[in-house]
Amino acid sequence: MFYRLPSSVRRRIVRIIVPKYLVGAVTIIRDAEAAEPGRILLLRQPPGRSWGLPAGLLKRREEPAVGAARELQEESGVAIDPDDLTAAVPNAIVHSKGWVDTVFTGSVPASTTPLIVDGGEVLEARWWPLDGLPTLTPNTALLLGIYGIGPLASEASR
């Protein structure tokens, strides 16, 4: 019976019934010049007690890689072409609080890539060695753990 309804009515019914998710884009950016174990770019945002990854919500109808590149540049000053970002595996992380993060990886040479922050949304951007990460936000620690990085990396593999 549902499929006999006009498509506009079906779409309205689905939008009412199906839960809505916010969709964000996250980038894990490595220093292309760093020796093993490597370094990643982290941001300290207000209130400034711990560090996280460049991330933000996608704009309406924005392609995830485009949104990831946009947020990276807005928050850290790092400009990267969306085509130079690689979809992480897994690419989408569904959070229990009602949002979905699409995750991308990339690399830039830290020595020639200036980090620029606005002091409002982002207090500080810095390259951190993978074997010496600072205190991470809970969401960042969980997300990095999925990709085998950080203090929760061993828990994610269980």
What's the pLDDT tens digit per position in 82-106?
Answer: 999 999 999 999 877 778 999 999 9
Residue 8 has, within 13 A of its CA and on its CB side, a CA count of: 0
At 15 the pLDDT is: 72
CB count, 10 Å around CB of 46? 10
Identify the residue with better confidence: 152 or 2: 152
Phi-psi region of 77 (alpha: psi -120 to 50; beta: other; left: phi over 0): left
SS3 content of the chain, % helix, strand, coil (to 5): 30, 30, 40
Name the helix (H) or strand (E) containing 103: strand 99-108
DSSP of 35-59: PTT-EEEEEE-TT-SSEE-SEEEPP
**CB 152, CB 141: distance < 8 Å:** yes
Q: Is the pLDDT of residue 68 over 70?
A: yes
Q: Give domain limits for the chain.
A: 15-131
**CATH class (in words) of the domain with range 15-131:** alpha beta
103-156 residue pLDDT tens: 999 999 999 999 999 888 899 999 999 999 999 999 999 999 999 999 998 765
